[in-house]
Amino acid sequence: MGVCGMPGQKASEAERRGQILRAAYDVASRTGLEAVTVRMVAAKAGLSAGLVLFHFKSKEQLLIALLDYVLATTTVLHMTEDIAAIAAPLDRLLALLQREMHRLASEPRRIRLFFEFWTQGFRHREINRRMQAELDRYREAFRPIAEEVLRTEQERFADVTPEGLAAVAVSFIKGCAVQSMLAPADFDIDDFLLAANALVGQLGARAA
Candidates 66, 63, 53, 67; CA nearest to 7 is 53
Give residue 30's pLDDT: 92
Candidates 185, 198, 189; CA nearest to 102 is 189
Average pLDDT rounded to a whole number, residues 51-80: 92
pTM, entire model: 0.80
Residue 5 and residue 47 in contact, taking contact as beta carbons nearer than 8 Å: yes
Average pLDDT rounded to a whole number, residues 45-70: 96
Looking at the domain 3-65, which fold is it?
Arc Repressor Mutant, subunit A (1.10.10)
Q: pLDDT, tens digit, for every residue of 10-27?
A: 568 889 999 999 999 999
Give residue 8's pLDDT: 45
Q: Which residue has the higher pLDDT, 181 or 146?
A: 146
Average pLDDT rounded to a whole number, residues 66-78: 89
Burial of 109 (0-12, 13-18, 19+ CB in 10 A): middle
Average pLDDT rounded to a whole number, residues 20-39: 95
> Which amino acid belongs to residue 62?
L
DSSP string covering 69-132, please?
A: HHHHTTS-----HHHHT-SSHHHHHHHHHHHHHHHHHT-HHHHHHHHHHHHHTTT-HHHHHHHH
Asked whether residue 93 carries a pLDDT value surpassing 90, the answer given is yes
Angle at 115 between CA 113 and CA 119, to 5 degrees: 115
